[in-house]
Structure 1
Amino acid sequence: MIIERMSSWTKDTWTHGMKFVQDKKKKGKVAFGILAGSLLASGTVAGGYVYQSNLTTLYHVSVDGKEIGVVDNPDVIRKWLGDKLAAEKKKYPNLALGFQKDIMITEKQHYNGQGVRSSDILKKLAPIVHVEANAAQLVVNGQTIAYAKDQKTINEALYRLKASYNEKKPMHNLTAGVENVAAGQAKQSVSGISHITIKEKIQVEKKSVAPGQVLDEVQLMNVLQKGVPEQKKHIVQDGENLWNIAPQYGLKEKELLAMNPGLKEGTLLQVGDKINVQALAPKITIVSKQETIENVVIPYKINAKPEPKKYRGDDTIVTEGKNGSKQVVYELVKENGKLVQKNPIQQKIIQQPVAKVIIRGTRVKPSRGDGHFRMPSTGIFSSPFGERWGRMHAGIDIATPIGTPVYTSDNGRVAFVGTKSGYGKVMMVDHGNGYRTLYGHLDGFVAKPGDIVVKGEVIAKSGNTGRSTGPHLHFEIHKDGEPVNPMTYLR
């Protein structure tokens, strides 16, 4: 019996084995005379000749120990296997190829034996026997990402990926975080970031796969940099439709529709709808650490000395503040080039800041008047309260140059700042006790709506706006909504 074996990884030569089997038979006793013995001897020789002349050599074909048929000519099987392997080698000349099954051809002698047609055996072999490639499998956090022809190819690709984040500073330990890296690779360093690692656990394992699954160097780098496609949900925003969502994920509208069977080309999307999309998701995170020096401003402090005799907001500057500066060394931590942490590790003061010193009033401004009014400005009385030119003059006029300070006549809160017909620019102050004062024909404002103002505080500048016969301040006092003669209240 001759056994011809095709190993799972095809070599250039066949492996042969030979086993001889001999049946041991018991010797019989001599029961006949010379004639009988002669006849017996001649009969044995004739019988043996007949048996040998009817022996046929057949070849048993088995796959992974299971016989699939017997042929009388193994050359057809050998040629089919050889052609199949040669065709794949032509397509993938750089890969180590072989059959994924253990194929065995066993030669045996059969009495009046007859084999099946070789074509029938080939029909059985075709669907179960395939060529595979010896490959290196890249595993990231337990998930297979890609296949390459060998571990060296993967190690070099990971090295180039990390080096792509080089930022022209001394870089060491490029291969940290990569398991199964060759000893020579581990000592390499290039000019770049001070420290680069891979965040995930990387493993490289041996695997046999279909040749088409093995990536070349360019394809492998593309997978490492961009990642592998993953299904995710897109939440529809205002103004979005299938036409402008698809390009966001590198898809065509037809591909997007195929992922969402419930949608059609004319489907109107609603804000908040969730649709299936496919996006590239990088599986490897390159963590880079880099030191950088920055000049940082040290803001000056404000030292406020309380003064109970001054109102709040009435501050006096004693010493102007001045910012200082310092040099800070930061450690920048980036993931795939994006800053995720900025950690200060040391600093040096360049210039100390100078504190700003102020005297700050602490006295609370009263928002309620006492009912005693002071003169709102300096100048000459030019028109009294009462009938004038056939109509009511609801206040008094004080002739004064444009820009003369206008003071609030009593404590209160600014209720209105703006313009009124005939009055020009106007300010009104509510004194919280039923009284309001009006200041008209102003040139500009100092106080703002809502400000609390105390008696004698500058709130505006006199002017000549609105219907006016010359620069002056028009002043009114209203009690419970009705104008009264200011001269009765002024002190």
Structure 2
Amino acid sequence: MPPELEGLRRLPGHEKFVLVIAYFVVIRQWLLRQPLYRRIMLGAALYLLVALTAYAVFGSNACAVVIDGRVVAVAADEKSARGTLGELIELKSAQAGIPVVAGEKVAYRGVRAEPGERLEGEALKEKLSQTVAFKARAAVIMINGEPKVFLKQVEDAEKVLDWLKALYPVQDGDQLEFKEKVEIGTAYAAVESILDLETAKKMVLWGSNKAQQYTVKEGDTLWDIARAIKYDMDQIILKNPGLDPDNLNVGQVLDLSREAPLITVVATRQVTVEEEIPYPVEVKNDDSLLPGERLVIRKGEPGERIVTYRIVRENGLETGREILEQKVLREASAEVVARSPVSIVAARGGSIRLNWPASGGVASPFGMRWGRMHEGVDIGAGYGSAVEAAAGGIVASAGWEGGYGNTVEINHGGGIVTRYAHLSSIKVRSGQRVDRGELIGLVGATGNTTGPHLHFEVLISGQPRDPLDYLP
């Protein structure tokens, strides 16, 4: 471009326009003074000159790539811009294994640009790769109407759901379904959000895991920590290999991260079994016995019944058991026990006298069991029978507690807490004051358990103690 025109091109737009108009007016006045034949010949030549000058001043010499009204790159021309974007789409498609498209509306517009502003080759490809969102039509697992997991093929999504249903133990007669509304569809998704089969399985099983840590402070016990964050102690131990639950060190960092599955597998079955009816226990005071001593006067005899249950398990853990029908074959006979009326002294100087929380004998005592510490007693109470507060206090928590299932914890003051686990139903709420003998729930088999019973714990200053030391 001649230096004069180059200088004119760099002027602001409105000045360019004024100069070109003035130039046109001067030429027109000069032509009007010429003879007619010369006006025709010179006019055509000068018109072409003006058009070429205007194009040189106002015309484009580059191509802008525009996405949603925003210029993201400037190429030498439209052909190179389109070609580079096409190469990128082919590359992304090969990497993803499925056809890929540009996610936004891409337009091309002629612009004026300095040579240094125009991108070519790898520089243009890198710029477009960073600014263009590439998408592909993928299979999507919808959970309660929300797109959660994207995969390449519908067949992959079906494999993930089939794998999830087969993940948990299945028993004869189980009917499997998902608790959430789960659907498979197709939708356009960002290429980076489309998962391979194994990653999608982990996503469905663990969901979005947020890391959480806790630093042990003076006076902390694992039980206190688990109760504060409503986390099962066994899960904390599993997440922290080598952890000694009885000897926490101040400054010790615990991994409290927890994952929740995106989809819940519900297994429902109906089963008829012949089972024992737990015998009730009648307690009589005997002044001749030592504090804490118990003497069985007449041994109880369990009854027998045929019962049909409807059992519901979620992700392998029992969450509900309903009695559909039962027939009593033999009634249970009560056990009569004598005990000392004198209470055992607690760790903080007070006395503890607890009532039996449920009617039935001890099916599994406190102590080592199956290579692990059993931190309470299992009372063989019948499914749906009453669970009562062992003493008056404030309900510290009431709800689902991992392997414990439906659980109630009562704070009786003085560092004394009682725990009632595997309940089929909870009849109190957190923060509620309860009296000794008040109904707090019903016996069940929720959580990690082999059958209906009440798991009962006594904790003093956070440490588990044998409940039989405090029961009549």
TM-score (norm 2): 0.44
Largest Rg, 1 or 2: 1
Higher strand share: 1
Higher helix share: 2
